[in-house]
Amino acid sequence: MSHVGVIDIGKTNAKFAVVDTETLLETAVRTRPNTVIDGPPYPHFDIEGIWNFLKSSMAEVNAHYRLSALAITTHGATAALVDEEGDLVLPVLDYEHDGPDGDRGDYDLIAPPFAKTLTPKLPAGLNLGAQLFYLQRHWPKAVARTRAILTYPQYWAHRLTGAAASELTSLGCHTGLWDFERRDFSSLVDAMGIRDKFPPLRSAFDVLGTVKPDLAEELGLGIGVQVYCGIHDSNASLLPHVLTTQPPFAVVSTGTWVIVCAPGGALDGLDETRDCLANIDALGRTVPSARFMGGREFSLLMGSEICEIEDRVTDRILRERIMLLPSIQTGSGPFPQNSARWSLPPDELDATTRHCVVSFYLALMTAECLVLAGAGGRVIVEGPFGRNRIFLDMLGAATGRPVIANSGNATGTSLGAALLTLGSHARPRLDHAALPPATNASEMRLYARRWRQAVDRQPD
């Protein structure tokens, strides 16, 4: 297989990419905003808008590259409820909607403990189990006539093929629906009486079927284009390294969320009050993890503004200890109760200085997540932050570990999804050369210690 089409739906953008599995490069990319429709009956994703975008993208790129297969990766905390015909019985809920919070007390009575599900109690719909509880309580007839509850990658696979499946990387990411001890659906699923609505488990590497003939004809695809089961996006970023690297190591997947996955890390240090959790990788292994909404925080603080950082700016920030303390996005992350505080008013700082301070803040939040996940060994940074040298330098200084930035042009999520087509024995060639330490690494280490001390002094 050479050219694989990848459906890659993040919280901020939906993307269709073509990945050459021989070179591990993206040869074509199409994107659109992942729009949220503001009800009724609640804020929900623009499924038809995404579907039309995906169809037009597939048809367009297939005219230039004969797609050999399709693979799928999406953000977590999302599921689609479909009827016998495969149609949605309810809109696909936006996990940032706070509706589930209103039922939190009753949900907590039946939700399994953290020790079972390795799922922290998260706000809004960030726990998929809380979403389903909310939908069942307020739209019971719709849930009752649901034929299948499909986690998000598998919904798109179902729409392409008609085949229904459940998959572990999506079930195991802070849903409350999976019991890590028993390696089975959790007691929550039985308490809600919905076990029979989950299709059989399939591996992310499995071929679920081929594109429906009428759809293939509409898009100009060849006969028998295979569709793979699909994978949760953080696990897609992790997959190339799981296949090639001996633990312990850590992968930092950056996008709307910064998610630290630490194969070989320690589960006993996970703190459910600080957005720690476990994931399940594509090979079925438990992976300690921690996260915060770093991409969203950068966007809130800087918009799309990217600045070139001169040494004099960095030197001033380190010398004067200009700091941003957590958290910009409260309610999640390693300091969910802390309110953000600048050491100097941000409107007194120029854009370049703010960019550097924000990058330091994000690196130090990431370093804290690495500690919480019990990470060891090298740190591999995927996604947009892998192109932010100031972030990488501070992360290396704060952790004292080798830092590797993804040097290919394919994003970790798209590459990982494409690798599903090569099977679990694939061994992609990756550039694992660590970045050299920053020339001012010692000053950065001192700044990192002072930042952490200042966080400890923050009022609750």
pLDDT in tens, 233-251: 999 999 999 999 999 999 9
Distance of CA 292 to the CA centre of its chain: 10
Rounded to whole angstroms, the Cα distance separating 188 from 376 reads 33
CATH number at residue 184: 3.30.420.40
Rounded to whole angstroms, the Cα distance separating 233 from 34 reads 15
Considering the domain architecture, whether residues 77 and 144 belong to the same structural domain is answered as yes
Q: How confident is the model at residue 460 (pLDDT cuts 50, 70, 90)?
A: low
Residues ≥6 apart with Cβ < 8 Å to 296: 256, 257, 329
Considering the domain architecture, whether residues 87 and 218 belong to the same structural domain is answered as yes
Rounded to whole angstroms, the Cα distance separating 104 from 110 reads 10
Q: How confident is the model at residue 408 (pLDDT cuts 50, 70, 90)?
A: low
Instruction: Count Cβ neighbours within 10 Å for each residue of 371-384 and write b for 16 or more, e otherwise.
Output: bbbbbbbbbbbbbe
Domain end position, chosen among 195, 229, 263: 229
Rounded to whole angstroms, the Cα distance separating 34 from 205 reads 26
Considering the domain architecture, whether residues 247 and 175 belong to the same structural domain is answered as no
Among residues 201, 115, 107, which one has the least CA distance to residue 151?
201
Question: Does 226 score more than 90 pLDDT?
Answer: yes
Q: Helix (H, G, I), strand (E, B), or coil: what is residue 201?
A: strand
Considering the domain architecture, whether residues 124 and 205 belong to the same structural domain is answered as yes
The pLDDT value recorded for residue 381 is 94
C-alpha distances out from residue 158 to 151, 154, 161, 402, Å: 10, 6, 5, 41
Distance of CA 230 to the CA centre of its chain: 14
Rounded to whole angstroms, the Cα distance separating 337 from 16 reads 37
Question: Does 307 score more than 80 pLDDT?
Answer: no
Q: Helix (H, G, I), strand (E, B), or coil: what is residue 128?
A: helix
Considering the domain architecture, whether residues 208 and 308 belong to the same structural domain is answered as no
Domain end position, chosen among 181, 208, 229: 229
Considering the domain architecture, whether residues 186 and 204 belong to the same structural domain is answered as yes
The pLDDT value recorded for residue 39 is 86
Considering the domain architecture, whether residues 220 and 246 belong to the same structural domain is answered as no
Computed from CA positions of residues 174, 175, 176, 179, in that sequence, does the dihedral angle turn out positive or negative?
negative
Considering the domain architecture, whether residues 257 and 171 belong to the same structural domain is answered as no
Q: What is the mean predicted confidence (pLDDT) over 207-227?
A: 96
Among residues 23, 5, 122, which one has the least CA distance to residue 69?
5
**Rounded to 5°, angle at Cα 28 from 24 and 33:** 115
Considering the domain architecture, whether residues 149 and 217 belong to the same structural domain is answered as yes
Computed from CA positions of residues 246, 425, 152, 221, in that sequence, does the dihedral angle turn out positive or negative?
positive
Contacts from 183-188 at CB under 8 Å and sequence distance 24+? 186/112, 186/116, 186/117, 186/129, 187/110, 187/112, 187/116, 188/110, 188/111, 188/112, 188/117, 188/129
Q: Which residue carries 């079927």 as its tokens?
A: 209
Considering the domain architecture, whether residues 219 and 258 belong to the same structural domain is answered as no
Considering the domain architecture, whether residues 208 and 69 belong to the same structural domain is answered as yes
DSSP state of 99: G
| Total of domains in the chain | 2
Considering the domain architecture, whether residues 135 and 46 belong to the same structural domain is answered as yes
For residue 450, the enclosing domain spans: 238-457
pLDDT averaged over every residue in the chain: 95
Among residues 25, 14, 31, 32, which one has the least CA distance to residue 415?
25
The pLDDT value recorded for residue 409 is 59
Q: Which residue carries 């997959």 as its tokens?
A: 239
Residues ≥6 apart with Cβ < 8 Å to 181: 115, 116
Q: Helix (H, G, I), strand (E, B), or coil: what is residue 426?
A: coil
β-pairing verdict for 25-33 and 178-179: unpaired
Domain end position, chosen among 173, 200, 229: 229
Token representation of residue 355:
């960019």
Rounded to whole angstroms, the Cα distance separating 209 from 229 reads 9
pLDDT in tens, 87-136: 999 999 999 999 999 999 999 999 999 999 999 999 999 999 999 999 99
C-alpha distances out from residue 132 to 144, 183, 273, 305, Å: 12, 20, 22, 38
Rounded to whole angstroms, the Cα distance separating 47 from 64 reads 26
pLDDT in tens, 175-206: 999 999 999 999 999 999 999 999 999 999 99
Rounded to whole angstroms, the Cα distance separating 261 from 337 reads 23
Q: What is the mean predicted confidence (pLDDT) over 444-457?
A: 97
